[in-house]
Structure 1
Amino acid sequence: MVHQTTNPTIKTARSASKRIIAISTSPKRVSMHFTFKVVSLLTVIVVLESCSYKKDIDQLSKQELPRQQSENIYREKKLENEHDYENIRGRVDLKNVLIWNSQDFKSAFLAWERNCLSPSIPLEYFIKCKESNYVNPSNFNQIKQFFETEFNAYLLSEKPGLLTAYYEPILLGSRKRTNVYKFPIYKKPKDPLTLKISEKLHSRKKLKNGKITNQYPTRKKLIEEQLLHGLELVFLADSVDNFFLHIQGSGTILLPDGEKIRVGYAGSNGHPYKSIGKWLADRGEMPLSSTSMQNIKKWVSDNPSQQEKLFNQNPRFIFFKENTRPIRNSEGPIGTLGIPLTANHSIAVDPKFVKLGTPLLVIKNNIDNPGGYFMIAQDTGNAIKGPNRGDLFLGTGPEAGKIAGRTKFKGKFIVLVPK
């Protein structure tokens, strides 16, 4: 993530919650749990067939993948090393949390309803969709009461984590290269070995945790040697916007004829993300606290000859695909759960610590700027690691981008666990 602007360090109240303990499961328990899961799912699905928000789930789940994610995450089985919430400590009474009462529950409930369209949310959250079907989506008090009565709230971890934000940019582009539109984004090659490389391709390095690492060359090599020629998806008008699209992972492209298309993550070259903001700070170009997206764009504008050197500090390269689903103004890009993100109410988390589909309250406890955000964990990101680490989705367009670019603070999660 590049959104590097920082706020003062936050001091929050101590809690007994210091850890989450994963639950081991015997083969017999797995079998019983699977049987219960199948029966429960059939029951819930029958109920949901009558819901007013019935959608084409299969269509949603096949759309673009989340930004910077290495693979699509579906929930037929629990993610490796993912924690359960059963043994979490630090119970919180939401009614005693001042910022809880001031949340925009109507908009948050839309994010929750979209949660219920995903085939990938944990069963215990999916079951709560039955209860939420009886909630009036325009009634503030009913929505607030639903979350208070159907869930228990817990402080996830005592140690504050870093909170940043991201958005979906709207960029000028064309399906054809012209004198104006000349900076391409690329489709993912079908196989690493199909790349035309003049030397031996070190594409399939040793396996790490069962996954192939560094399948493709670095960003620098891919671009300088034009290894992706013929795989151009769209040509953008601005090289800096092109680079930051790789950071955001998805965007809306405005074509010359006025048509809008959405592009999203299709894969990466397998290299780790490295912050160009940190590189600038290490060279004394600007303080680390000032390495926002806006300031980096200004630096590139002032130092055009250094642009590629700066960009190549990040070896990671993102491949894209077009999302053919019709664009609706109320919907963001498709997140990891296979559903549209909701501006100001969807958050990217580390699924090793927070289950996707979990409602949570982000506590921003700062004397100068107190507050919080009621979010639903619906996305993931390559740089999002740790229990209280999150990336808030703030919407689509330049205004959302301005806010996202300067959003950076320390905070904690209060997670809502089904009763």
Structure 2
Amino acid sequence: MFVGSSSRAQPVTVPDGSLFREVEFRDIPGWPGEDAAQALAPFLHTCRGLSAWGADRPTGGGGELARLGGRPGAFAGACAEAEGLAEHLGRPAASLGAEAGGAAERRTALARGFFERRFRAFAAGTGMMTGYFEPELRGAEYPVGPFQVPLHAAPPFLSAGAPLPDRAAIEAGALAGMGLELAWVDDPVDAFFLHIQGAGRLRLHDGRVLRVGYAGKNGHPYKAVGRVLLDSGAIPRDRMSMQAIRAWLGTAQPGEAAALLRHNPSYVFFRVLDGLEPGEGPPGTLGVPLTPGRSLAVDPAFIPLGAPVFALTRDPADGAPIRRLLHAQDTGGAIRGPARGDLFWGWGEAAAARAGPMREEAEVFVLVPRGEAAPGAGDVAAAAPALLPAARTAP
């Protein structure tokens, strides 16, 4: 169990009756955490995303978090200072007022000072931290050989609100003949988990890599297939993970595997992601590339998109403590609650190995800008459902 927050914290009521409590930075266990200076670059990504949203577009949040940080304009001063600080930190160690051996400490001190000067911290409580990643699949741009499982673009009538077929109907051909197929992959299980993650890399049969990302869904509710396996006793609770589900599917009869996947009627549509560098993650809800180990999916009904979030949790691979400043740059269909988070681990097998089994307790602190809030900003929480749609349906 993590250390609780200071008793001097002042409660702020949020819509569901839970509490955010303002805390002093000195009372946050482990602050400023690992490599605090490394948190500056992803924060600058946040700044670029917020700038593209416009100064007054709601970004979510509950209670005081909405009032102080529920619009992009609230971050303008912090973003301007961060640009200058990043330029300063990019200079040689001598210019930081430190010898080469003390450069890291000096950088940490400067980053810590920036976040403490520009932000107020609120304890969001303790919740669950899961992980997600960008999977890599084998694919082709047309159906050939083993590549027979299509990935679909969103149908033109998606925005019109017309009813859409469920997963079983789509897999049976309900959208065939509409020219919606973006690519084909060779494994229905890989395709299913791509739907859950919301973005991926397709290594095509000619060696090229096609990046795809979330473009909408069919409107049917997400139902976790892991719950079916738990309820049936096929997988014990203490062994449940993405890897365990995959292992069960790999040994099941074909009809059983297909039936399990179709238990989830939700179906995700994709779009091609152009202009991304190989070393960049896919864009999250905020519209900026996600940073491995730093980008966090949150519930925007409680935490504003763009807010830095300090989390205390554990590495699922070895149980090592994580004390890290993260960035609320994404959302997810199963991410609900003030202290619920989903940590982006990157792409490839190493990221999957951490993301799949991650179900760790996390203590969460949300940072929102200091300064006066614009009139009416307290109404941001009510606008949270109007944010961009969830990019994933994390388990």
TM-score > 0.5 by shorter chain: yes
Tell me how far apart the structure 1 counterparts of residues 16 and 176 of structure 2 sit (CA, whole Å).
36
1:345-356 equivalences under 5 Å are 345-356=294-305
Tell me how far apart the structure 2 counterparts of residues 19 and 248 of structure 1 sit (CA, whole Å).
35
Asked if the contact 2:215–2:270 (Cα under 8 Å) also holds between the matched residues in 1, the reply is yes
1:92-103 equivalences under 5 Å are 92-103=23-34
Asked if the contact 2:297–2:335 (Cα under 8 Å) also holds between the matched residues in 1, the reply is yes
Tell me how far apart the structure 2 counterparts of residues 381 and 14 of structure 1 sit (CA, whole Å).
27
Matching residue of 1:140: 108
Alignment of 1:13 onto 2:19 = no
Matching residue of 1:216: 164
Tell me how far apart the structure 1 counterparts of residues 220 and 133 of structure 2 sit (CA, whole Å).
23
Asked if the contact 1:12–1:365 (Cα under 8 Å) also holds between the matched residues in 2, the reply is no
Matching residue of 2:354: 403
Matching residue of 1:106: 37
Q: What letter corresponds to residue 235 of structure 1 in structure 2? A: W
Q: What letter corresponds to residue 197 of structure 2 in structure 1? A: Q
| Residue 133 (structure 1) shift | 1.8
- How many corresponding residue pairs? 327
Select 1:161's aligned residue among 127, 148, 152: 127
Asked if the contact 1:15–1:90 (Cα under 8 Å) also holds between the matched residues in 2, the reply is no
Query: Are residues 280 and 151 of structure 1, via their aligned partners in 2, closer, same or farther at CA, if it must alter by over 3 Å?
Result: same
Residue by residue, what CA displacement relative to the aligned partner does 1:245-276 show, whole Å, maximum 9, x if unpaired? 00000011111222112100111000111110
| Residue 364 (structure 1) shift | 2.3
1:187-266 equivalences under 5 Å are 187-191=153-157, 212=161, 215-229=163-177, 230-266=179-215
Q: Secondary structure at the match of 2:302?
A: coil
Alignment of 1:125 onto 2:62 = no
Alignment of 1:149 onto 2:117 = yes
| Residue 96 (structure 1) shift | 4.2
Tell me how far apart the structure 2 counterparts of residues 414 and 394 of structure 1 sit (CA, whole Å).
20
Q: What letter corresponds to residue 109 of structure 2 in structure 1? A: N
Matching residue of 1:59: none
| Residue 21 (structure 1) shift | 4.1
Tell me how far apart the structure 1 counterparts of residues 304 and 338 of structure 2 sit (CA, whole Å).
11
Structure 2 segments unaligned to the other structure (5+ residues) = 54-70, 91-106, 371-395
Tell me how far apart the structure 2 counterparts of residues 216 and 20 of structure 1 sit (CA, whole Å).
41
Q: Bigger shift: 351-360 or 104-113?
A: 104-113
Asked if the contact 1:360–1:374 (Cα under 8 Å) also holds between the matched residues in 2, the reply is yes
Q: Secondary structure at the match of 1:371?
A: strand
Query: Are residues 149 and 283 of structure 1, via their aligned partners in 2, closer, same or farther at CA, if it must alter by over 3 Å?
Result: same
Asked if the contact 1:82–1:353 (Cα under 8 Å) also holds between the matched residues in 2, the reply is no
Q: What letter corresponds to residue 374 of structure 1 in structure 2? A: L
| Residue 289 (structure 1) shift | 2.9
Select 1:270's aligned residue among 216, 219, 230: 219
Asked if the contact 2:32–2:324 (Cα under 8 Å) also holds between the matched residues in 1, the reply is no
Tell me how far apart the structure 2 counterparts of residues 225 and 134 of structure 1 sit (CA, whole Å).
54
| Residue 90 (structure 1) shift | 2.6
Residue by residue, what CA displacement relative to the aligned partner does 1:376-396 show, whole Å, maximum 9, x if unpaired? 100011111111111111111
Q: What letter corresponds to residue 115 of structure 1 in structure 2? A: T
Structure 1 segments unaligned to the other structure (5+ residues) = 1-9, 23-80, 194-203, 205-211
Q: What is the aligned-residue identity percentage?
A: 35
Q: Secondary structure at the match of 1:133?
A: helix
Query: Are residues 173 and 225 of structure 1, via their aligned partners in 2, closer, same or farther at CA, if it must alter by over 3 Å?
Result: closer
Q: Secondary structure at the match of 1:295?
A: helix
| Residue 189 (structure 1) shift | 0.8
Residue by residue, what CA displacement relative to the aligned partner does 1:267-290 show, whole Å, maximum 9, x if unpaired? 100011111011101111011332
Tell me how far apart the structure 2 counterparts of residues 91 and 18 of structure 1 sit (CA, whole Å).
5
| Residue 347 (structure 1) shift | 0.3
| Residue 182 (structure 1) shift | 1.3
Asked if the contact 1:171–1:252 (Cα under 8 Å) also holds between the matched residues in 2, the reply is yes
Query: Are residues 287 and 187 of structure 1, via their aligned partners in 2, closer, same or farther at CA, if it must alter by over 3 Å?
Result: same
| Residue 97 (structure 1) shift | 3.5
Q: What letter corresponds to residue 182 of structure 2 in structure 1? A: L
Alignment of 1:357 onto 2:309 = no
Tell me how far apart the structure 2 counterparts of residues 369 and 18 of structure 1 sit (CA, whole Å).
31
Tell me how far apart the structure 1 counterparts of residues 195 and 201 of structure 2 sit (CA, whole Å).
13
Q: Bigger shift: 389-398 or 117-126?
A: 117-126
Query: Are residues 268 and 324 of structure 1, via their aligned partners in 2, closer, same or farther at CA, if it must alter by over 3 Å?
Result: same
Tell me how far apart the structure 1 counterparts of residues 273 and 137 of structure 2 sit (CA, whole Å).
15
Q: Secondary structure at the match of 2:163?
A: coil
Asked if the contact 2:129–2:313 (Cα under 8 Å) also holds between the matched residues in 1, the reply is no
| Residue 95 (structure 1) shift | 3.4
| Residue 291 (structure 1) shift | 2.0
Tell me how far apart the structure 2 counterparts of residues 379 and 289 of structure 1 sit (CA, whole Å).
28
Tell me how far apart the structure 1 counterparts of residues 150 and 79 of structure 2 sit (CA, whole Å).
42
